[in-house]
Amino acid sequence: MTLQQLKYAIEIANCGSMNEAAKRLFISQPSLSNAIKELENELGIAIFERSNRGIVTSEAGIEFLGYARQVIEQMEFMESRYKGEQFRGVQFSMSTQHYPFVVDAYVRLLQSYDAEEYNLVLRETRTLDIIEDVRSLRSDIGVLYINEQNAKVMNKLFSDHHLKFTPLLNASPHIYVSSQHPLAAKEELTMEDVSPYPYLSFEQGEQHSLNFIEEIVRTVQPARSIKVSDRATLRDILLGTQGYTIGTGLLTSDLTGSELRSIPLLIEQAATIGWIAHKDIQLGDIAKRYIDILNDIVTEVQFNYNYWLL
């Protein structure tokens, strides 16, 4: 087993693709495959498995990569220390549902972090992809919600994949509309109020089960619906049409200005937003710092009102 093989395995897990990892490592795909096969034969385990979604990390591979990352981090630390340099090679990757406050926390992390070298990744993606990213160690943490309707399914997925869900805050459903929308002046809304308007939601791909929808309220299939895959597109459509979507009510003025309104929805449903991480892997310092920032933002929401909870 070599340090190079460990780096290869980590890069494959990060990319989720043998071809993409080979490109980033500047080696041929056959050479990379052979190196991993030799490593797997030496260890007596299959680190990666192939599926219709590409390369995924096996259960044994998850444990192995947890140790491999620690070994590589310590090696880089030792190299930097004994070269008389400060250790700067920091990596942090996360996956999340489409929450402005999560991006705000990421911005604050970058503003507070003065390392000259780092490799950070933020993925806004689908619910099942978040779980898979954290399970396979492609991401250190994931941010998503659970509620009464999906808790049974989600908690089973967490258990099956050895993940732990840590709550951040409880959120009540809000309707998001443009500040120019006919309903923008309302203090509260019902589903009947918004039914004449187009409904925007995040597309979940083949896994479109109601358990995985990002909007925290299950609705009757609307007459007019629009599915999008990213938050910027959803925002632009909200601003340019009389459409609406359902969210948590947490909008940051820094990221959205005053162009959107967040109006409480009169419905007895709520959600708990939290973060997931692998039970068996210790989080790095930068991941811990990011979680501290998330908790600071929750405190602001609850006590300082720096967010629009309209």
pLDDT, tens only, 274-300: 999 988 788 888 899 999 999 998 888
pLDDT tens-digit map of 105-160: 999 998 887 766 677 889 999 999 999 888 888 889 999 999 988 999 999 999 98
With a cut of 70, say whether residue 172 has pLDDT above it. yes
How is residue 300 annotated by DSSP? I
- The segment with the largest mean pLDDT, out of 22-26, 55-59, 155-159, is 155-159
Nearest alpha-carbon partner for 174 in 276, 301, 274, 303: 301
Nearest alpha-carbon partner for 9 in 53, 60, 52, 79: 60
Instruction: Kindly indicate the confidence band of residue 208, based on its pLDDT and cuts at 50, 70 and 90.
Output: low
pLDDT (0 to 100) of residue 257: 52
Tokens of 121: 């990744």
Instruction: Kindly indicate the confidence band of residue 310, based on its pLDDT and cuts at 50, 70 and 90.
Output: very low
E-strand ranges in 97-139 read 118-124
- Mean pLDDT of the residues in the chain: 83
* Residues 6 or more apart whose Cβ sits within 8 Å of residue 286: 90, 91, 92, 109, 113, 118, 120
d(C-alpha 125, C-alpha 229), whole Å: 8
Max CA pair span of the chain: 67
Tokens of 7: 């780096």
Q: Give the 3-state secondary structure of residue 225.
A: strand
Higher pLDDT, 16 or 307: 16
pLDDT (0 to 100) of residue 303: 58
Instruction: Kindly indicate the confidence band of residue 187, based on its pLDDT and cuts at 50, 70 and 90.
Output: very high
pLDDT (0 to 100) of residue 281: 80
Mean pLDDT of 81-109: 77
**Nearest 5°: phi and psi at 218?**
-80, 125
Instruction: Kindly indicate the confidence band of residue 87, based on its pLDDT and cuts at 50, 70 and 90.
Output: very low
